Amino acid sequence: MTPGLTRRDACCAAAASTAMGKYLRVIYLLSFQGPCVTTSEVAARLGVAAPSVSAMLRRMDAAGLITAAGPAGIVLSEHAERHARDVVRRHRLIETFLVQSAGMSWDEVHEEAEALQDVVSDRLIDRIDTALGHPHRDPHGDPIPQPADGPADGYTEDWSPSLTGVPVGQSFRVDRISDEDSTALQYLAGLGVRPGVMLQVVDREPFGGPLWVEVDGQRRALGTPLTQLVHGVVNA
Amino acid sequence: MTPGLTRRDACCAAAASTAMGKYLRVIYLLSFQGPCVTTSEVAARLGVAAPSVSAMLRRMDAAGLITAAGPAGIVLSEHAERHARDVVRRHRLIETFLVQSAGMSWDEVHEEAEALQDVVSDRLIDRIDTALGHPHRDPHGDPIPQPADGPADGYTEDWSPSLTGVPVGQSFRVDRISDEDSTALQYLAGLGVRPGVMLQVVDREPFGGPLWVEVDGQRRALGTPLTQLVHGVVNA
DNA sequence: GCTCCGAATAAGACGCGTCTAATTGTGAGA
DNA sequence: TCTCACAATTAGACGCGTCTTATTCGGAGC
């Protein structure tokens, strides 16, 4: 066994490769964002060519991680979902840790966590979880799933509504910002738009024009691609 | 450019692979421990077969990282040494960080750092260095080199004498414990033998028998393989 | 001078993860 | 129904890092 060499839980060596962890996480998260997960979506998210995804899907299928990738898109097996949830957990705990303990800012940890999520040991994740006091949200406001062997938690990937459709005149508390685009994240951070912040929707220009919001007493214009990343609740 | 994707300094993409980082670090450190570094030493340290080392040496040679691996053993180029020093820096900063901020114990961080040293970004290393207040020693007492572009530091890999030859009756302050064997490290940690601790040599049995030391008021017997890992200064 | 042993390398193979180019579906629209 | 466009896969290749087996090289001892 040699504890420490076994970096993943060894129940399934297949899901242990660093590349497969990235695929699992992305497929898992995409499955909450649309009716079906397609090869090209995955390719776009991971920045690889479509045939690379096809090849990986074949390997994942051979490992029993895929149930029928037909017209319903890519569907993870129950087993694969557990692994994917665990990758998500590691990713988000690492993000939280890097912000809290290493002094990184919340808009620059995503790529770092992407690189680390598949190489940290379970023991380190455990230590981090303890040191941080078992957090439930990462710095982007994303929920942190509990370990599979633990008690059932209230974990869900459901998103609160995005800023895009909020009517003029409403106030809006940001609770979560999608972290898949790091440059957008940096821009939003620069404007003071971050999880927990309260903002007012003061105007909306027609024909897809920007949404004007007030944050920290400043008026800011946000295009639709940006407002779609910002989620929260009205009037909270 | 895309900062963040460039995980290493990009001056030399060759030295950026995770495997090569491990080879660089091990070859660099071995070069301080004997007249010449051999293929089989490297293979043993990394836990790979000798032909794997030969193959990697060929790649390193092609990348200009090796100067003549003849009878003088494997010799790193000056350029490669800078890279190797940087890997050592990352490794030791990570160890320090994991002990200080994640609550890991000093005898379990080595393997973790081995896995992380080649995937963390320079930016994270910088943040860690700052957050820890620019430490000069890691939890095993190993010196942490400064970045190559910084001012000349007093960094040296020279070891203080090992406990092995200390005469009976002397007191000895441990300043450094070799971290290459994690089980030995755990055992020593369990005995209370750690960097900074003071111990007394109370007896030595003949014919390679154990050395008896007193630490924390307890008499302990240490075999030669163990005493060779423990370094420090007499009567300090 | 020969022989034997251990260290080092060559040869050949494999798995992973990626790519490009070419092919095969699979719709929607004319 | 045919066609065009797009999504997906196949085919074929490459680089990395590892392995095992076989060979070569260099000394030390007889």
pLDDT in tens, A28-55: 999 999 889 999 999 999 999 999 999 9
Facing residues of B124 across strands?
A: none
* pLDDT for the residue A208: 81
* pLDDT for the residue A50: 97
Nucleotides of C under 7 A from a protein CB: 7-12, 16-22, 27
Q: Does A130 touch chain B (CB under 8 A)?
A: yes
Residue in the block written with tokens 């649309």? A34
Angle at B123 between CA B117 and CA B125, to 5 degrees: 40
- CA–CA separation, B43 vs B21, rounded Å? 14
Q: Does A234 touch chain B (CB under 8 A)?
A: no
> Could you check: is the Cβ of residue B58 within 7 Å of any atom of nucleic acid strand C?
yes
* pLDDT for the residue B208: 80
Min CA distance, B206 vs chain A (Å)?
A: 34
* pLDDT for the residue A2: 35
Q: What is the pLDDT of residues A133-176, one digit of tens each?
A: 999 999 999 999 999 777 778 899 999 999 999 999 999 999 99
* pLDDT for the residue B235: 81
- CA–CA separation, A19 vs A115, rounded Å? 10
Among chain B residues 162 through 201, which have CB within 7 angstroms of nucleic chain D?
none
Residue A89 has pLDDT above 60, yes or no: yes
Measuring alpha carbon to C1', the residue closest to nucleotide C7 is B40
Q: Is A119 in contact with B115 (Cβ distance < 8 A)? A: yes
Share of chain A above pLDDT 90, in %: 81
Interface of A with B in 63-102 (CB under 8 A): 97-98, 101-102
For residue B11, which phi and psi values (nearest 5 degrees)?
-60, -20
- Burial grade of A95 (CB within 10 A; 0-12, 13-18, 19 or more): buried
Residue A1 has pLDDT above 60, yes or no: no
- DSSP, res B13: G
Q: Extract the tokens encoding A44.
A: 């776009």
* One pLDDT digit (tens) per residue for chain B, 236 residues: 333 344 565 457 666 799 999 999 999 999 998 889 999 999 999 999 999 999 999 999 999 999 865 667 899 999 999 999 999 999 999 999 999 999 999 999 999 999 999 999 999 999 999 999 999 999 999 999 998 777 778 899 999 999 999 999 999 999 999 998 889 999 999 999 999 999 999 999 988 889 999 999 999 999 999 999 999 999 85
Q: What is the pLDDT of residues A56-80, one digit of tens each?
A: 999 999 999 998 656 678 999 999 9
| Length A9 CA → D10 C1' (Å) | 34
- DSSP, res B34: S
Q: What is the pLDDT of residues A200-231, one digit of tens each?
A: 999 999 888 899 999 999 999 999 999 999 99
Query: What distance lies between CA B158 and its chain's CA centroid?
Result: 11
Q: Does A111 touch chain B (CB under 8 A)?
A: yes
For residue A173, which phi and psi values (nearest 5 degrees)?
-100, 120
* pLDDT for the residue B92: 98
Task: From chain A, pick out residues whose CB is under 8 angstroms from the CB of B124.
Answer: 98, 102, 104, 112
